[in-house]
Amino acid sequence: MTGDEFMETYGGIYEKSPWIAEAAFERHDIDTVDELHAAMKTAVNKADMNQQLALVRAHPDLAIAPAQMSNLTKESQSEQAGAGLKNCTPEEFEEFKRLNAEYKEKFGFPFIVAVKGLTRQDILNQFRQRMNSTREQEFKTALEQIHKIAWHRLTALATDLV
């Protein structure tokens, strides 16, 4: 693949952070999805705190209003829809809205969870539980969840490309 082709294919794996795919492209020893994910993960883990924080903050809130959905990447739209977040009851929507605001106020970045395979209730339960964490714990968890999201996106893409 050329650099442009690589970036077109993999530049969006990590939410609005093409620098991660660029770092992986510079390596010439990647032959598998596992190796690509490892290279991207390494780029994130070696990044400075400001780059990591920008990556975390690039992620959208969960269960946002339908009018705001067009602001999400197509991957985020699909992931949130797959978890049923666009089908929230009014009560669930209000709880997500409140928790999103409280979480960002407390931690300084959005709540991040890899929603694939989770229900709305699973996500709300994690949201409630993680509100009791420290900022350091949540930042570490956010990066772990981002790597998990990237893994899901890469494996879905690999399936599509076959």
Over 70: is that where the pLDDT of 22 sits? Answer: yes
37, 59, 147, 152: the active-site residue: 59
Given a cut of 90, whether residue 65 has pLDDT beyond it is no
* C-alpha closest to that of 112 among 67, 86, 153, 76: 76
Q: Give the confidence band of 68 by pLDDT, cuts at 50, 70, 90.
A: confident
Which pLDDT score, from 0 to 100, does residue 23 have?
A: 96
State residue 126 phi and psi, 5-degree precision.
-65, -40
Whether residue 13 is predicted with pLDDT greater than 60 in this model: the reply is yes
Residues 134, 119: Cα–Cα separation, whole Å? 25
What distances in angstroms separate CA 71 from CA 35, 67, 85, 121, 129, one per listed residue? 31, 9, 15, 24, 28
Assess whether pLDDT exceeds 60 at residue 18. yes
Domain ranges across the chain: 1-162
The predicted model gives 112-135 an average pLDDT of 97
State yes or no: is 147 an active-site residue.
Answer: no
The per-residue pLDDT for 161 is: 67
* Three-class secondary structure of residue 84 per DSSP: coil
- Phi, then psi, of 57 in degrees rounded to 5: -70, -10
Q: Which pLDDT score is estimated for 162?
A: 53
What's the whole-model pTM score?
A: 0.93
pLDDT of 159 higher than 90: no
**Between residues 70 and 111, the one the model is more confident about:** 111
Report the percent of the chain where pLDDT is more than 90.
79
CATH class of 1-162: mainly alpha
pLDDT at residue 43 tops 70 = yes
Q: Which residue has the higher pLDDT, 57 or 29?
A: 57
